[in-house]
Amino acid sequence: NITKPNLIFKDDLLTGENIDRLTRKLKDLGDIFNDKAAFAQMDGETVVYDVESSFPVAHGTEGGLFYGITYIHPGKVGQEYFMTKGHFHEIRNRGEYYCTLEGEGMLLLMDENGNTRAEKMIPGSIHYIPGNTAHRTANVGEQILSFSAFWPSDAGHDYGTISEKGFSEILIEQEGQPVLVPNIKQ
Ligand code: PAN
Ligand code: ZN
């Protein structure tokens, strides 16, 4: 029941070989949400996001590019919006572009000194993620948030740092608005 963006290129890029599809459910994301009591009340089978990626060259190839579309469902755990795990790239200095396709979101960016900032995602918005910057996206709207991503094929993903410590700030809903507040877990 995901509304897929009506893009000319999408079906061509995301068919054929070397396509990877993954689904992340609440039960896979136990460590990212702060409100453990609210989390415990929810169905672990709830889908939080899907990612469809195209890997035209082998992982680790220098000079190639990967392409993926992420679909984040609307929802919250307590006050915290449904969001991606978030990661640094394994080769830390590798950057990335995101382009919002549909919905409303926030892109959280944290540098290696733990400074977090957020960019608003609306259809058509383009976001440059510099190297050495952890990135996570949250759906702050009431429909699917989808965005395309383009990253170097040798970037790799380091999830460990974020799964241990999280971001220095978390994105929660207060009086109907998304706000960044310090992450007390840190
Ligand atoms: C994106 C992300 C995607 C899912 O393609 O991998 O949005 O988020 P997580 O990987 O944090 O679960 C990207 O940033 N690739 O590098
Ligand atoms: Zn990335």
The full set of domains in the chain, from first to last, is: 12-182 (2.60.120.10)
Does the ipTM surpass 0.85? yes
**Among residues 85, 69, 81, 23, which one has the least CA distance to residue 49?**
23
CA distances from 49 to 62, 65, 130 (A): 28, 22, 23
Instruction: Please write the tens of the pLDDT for every residue from 71-85.
Output: 999 999 999 999 999
Cα(120)–Cα(140) distance, rounded to whole angstroms?
A: 10
Query: What pTM was computed for the model?
Result: 0.92
Asked whether residue 36 carries a pLDDT value surpassing 80, the answer given is: yes
Lowest mean pLDDT, pick from 51-55, 100-104, 129-133: 51-55
Asked whether residue 38 carries a pLDDT value surpassing 80, the answer given is: yes
Cα 68 versus chain centre, distance: 11
Position 172 scores a pLDDT of 97
Position 13 scores a pLDDT of 53
Closest residue (by CA) to atom 12 of ligand 1? 85
Pocket lining: 38 vs ligand 1, CB cutoff 6 Å: no
**Among residues 164, 86, 165, which one has the least CA distance to residue 129?**
86
Pocket lining: 168 vs ligand 1, CB cutoff 6 Å: no
Q: Is residue 12 classed as helix, strand or coil in its secondary structure?
A: helix
Mean pLDDT (the chain) is 91
Residues whose beta carbons lie less than 5 angstroms from ion ligand 2: 96
Mean pLDDT of 140-157: 97
| Residue 14: band (very low, low, confident or very high) from pLDDT cuts 50, 70, 90 | low
| Residue 19: band (very low, low, confident or very high) from pLDDT cuts 50, 70, 90 | confident
**Among residues 41, 47, 13, 11, which one has the least CA distance to residue 29?**
47
Instruction: Confirm if 16 and 75 have CB atoms less than 8 A apart.
Output: no
Pocket lining: 10 vs ligand 1, CB cutoff 6 Å: no
